[in-house]
Amino acid sequence: MTTKKRTGPLDGLRVIDCSGMISGGFATAQLGDFGADVVMVEHPEQPDPIREWPPYDEEQSKTSLWWKSIGRNKRCVTLNLSTPEGAALLTELVEDADLLFENFRPGTMESWGLGPESLRSVNEELIYVRISGYGQTGPQSDKPGFGTVAEGLSGWAHVNGFPDREPLLPPISLADLTAAQFAVQAAMFAIFERDIGRGGSGEGQMIDVTLYEPLFRLFLGDVEAYDRNGRIPERTGNQHPSAAPRNIYETSDGYITLSASSQQIFENVMHAIERSDLINDPRFADNDKRVENAAELNNIIETWTQKRPTDDVIKAMEANDAIVGPVYDISDIFMDEQYQARNNIITIEDEDLGELRTAAPVPTFSRTPGDVEHAGPRHGQHNREVYVREVGLAESKFEQLREDGVV
């Protein structure tokens, strides 16, 4: 079996993606952006639900733009894993694979004879990445999980929002996307250990990623603070519980973001708003005092910003080496010169939509950059390419499996 030639630092890495929805899908999209050959496996009759998520293209009303983004750089095949023939075919697919991703409820892959031990018996180097709501162990491991629940369970929703309002969920799939990033870094850790670390063990392993643990891990210092002091973080709105001033401030025609956690930057802000007298004010003498008196400090700054347009506020702040920025919507991003200079939005050709602009791979590599070869393909588009040309199925066998609903 051959691995499709790609550009990027992961050229030569073969990934079998048996996951659906967001967490696994975004993880393998990241790998695909940087050159991995990602073969995505979907059920023949039940495609990835993302294919039906809005927003849709206005001209191609049944084409999900979500799917075009998260499915990019992947080759899509169909396979019914719950059938003996489908399980056998997946086993052939992983014989020369580096990574397999799956996000079924724990125990599902084992019920089909496709658990880590079964697949590693045919490929001992296989790294098997499992993403689930609660993990493969523990009293809640058999429960289904979604990112929304993880955002509550992790402590994230409790601290997000304003103190006089209810907990607030994010407007993006934060738990899923964070889990995806942890899954990618864990996969790279495992590849390093297998191939390089201490001479390389030559062995694969299973990686157990939950939706709640990656978000929980982002709360630096909170475990220690509760252990030592019984401190429970509360909602602080746009303010940071450990630094001030840090907020969103209204201008006469919009908003700016500002952070001044160091003493020098705070002083620069005071110079910018022509309130140098406040530098030696006991209420704002150091960061601890500023955190205690953040409401007063924010009011002073916003009283100044509200009288001026956003551009004038930013110019005045930057002239004094303060650190500020605008609050953009997506139309602003498309027009911004920094985004343009770094080619953060690129144009590709899509077989369904024609010319399509999409987010460029990040971060930037100097020698082996990522690329977007194509947007999300059609359901089962690469069946013949993968099963006949690469796996080596006879055309008659392939047609029989298709008739039987296996592919």
CA angle 228, 231, 237 (to 5 degrees): 145
Evaluate whether residue 337 is within a structural domain: no
Q: Taking the model in full, what pTM does it have?
A: 0.94
Residue 1 has a pLDDT of 67
Amino acid at 200: G
End-to-end Cα distance, the chain: 18
Evaluate whether residue 260 is within a structural domain: yes
Q: Average pLDDT in the 18-25 region?
A: 96
- Cα–Cα nearest to 180, from 373, 19, 53: 19
Evaluate whether residue 27 is within a structural domain: yes
CATH code, domain carrying 109: 3.40.50.10540
Total domains, the chain = 2
CA distance 19 to 13: 18
Evaluate whether residue 43 is within a structural domain: yes
Q: Average pLDDT in the 68-86 region?
A: 98
Instruction: Map the chain to HEC letters.
Output: CCCCCCCCCCCCCEEEECCCCCHHHHHHHHHHHCCCEEEEEECCCCCCHHHHCCCECCCCCCCEHHHHHHCCCEEEEECCCCCHHHHHHHHHHHHHCCEEEECCCCCHHHHCCCCHHHHHCCCCCCEEEEEECCCCCCCCCCCCCCHHHHHHHCCHHHHCCCCCCCCCCCCCCHHHHHHHHHHHHHHHHHHHHHHCHHHCCCCCCEEEEECHHHHHHCCCCHHHHHHHHCCCCCCCCCCECCECCEEEEECCCCEEEEECCCHHHHHHHHHHCCCHHHHHCHHHCCHHHHHHCHHHHHHHHHHHHCCCCHHHHHHHHHHCCCCEEECCCHHHHHHCHHHHHCCCEEEEEECCCEEEEEECCCCCCCCCCCCCCCCCCCCCCCHHHHHHHHHCCCHHHHHHHHHCCCC
Do 258 and 372 fall into the same domain?
A: no
| Sign of the CA dihedral running 384, 386, 387, 390 | positive
Evaluate whether residue 353 is within a structural domain: no
CA distance 11 to 183: 19
Q: What is the pLDDT of residues 306-333, one digit of tens each?
A: 999 999 999 999 999 999 999 999 999 9
Residue 2 has a pLDDT of 62
Do 60 and 127 fall into the same domain?
A: yes
pLDDT at 124 over 80: yes
Residue that terminates a domain, selected from 331, 348, 369: 331
Do 58 and 201 fall into the same domain?
A: yes
Q: Average pLDDT in the 363-384 region?
A: 97
Residues annotated as part of the active site: 176
Q: What is the pLDDT of residues 336-369, one digit of tens each?
A: 999 999 999 999 999 999 999 999 999 999 999 9
| Sign of the CA dihedral running 114, 120, 122, 123 | positive
Do 73 and 192 fall into the same domain?
A: yes
Do 313 and 268 fall into the same domain?
A: yes
Q: Average pLDDT in the 394-401 region?
A: 97
Domain encompassing residue 296: 246-331
Do 364 and 322 fall into the same domain?
A: no
Residue 187 CA: distances (Å) to CA of 13, 15, 76, 235, 368:
11, 11, 21, 34, 19
CA distance 225 to 229: 5
Do 307 and 388 fall into the same domain?
A: no
pLDDT band at 170 (very low <50, low <70, confident <90, very high): very high
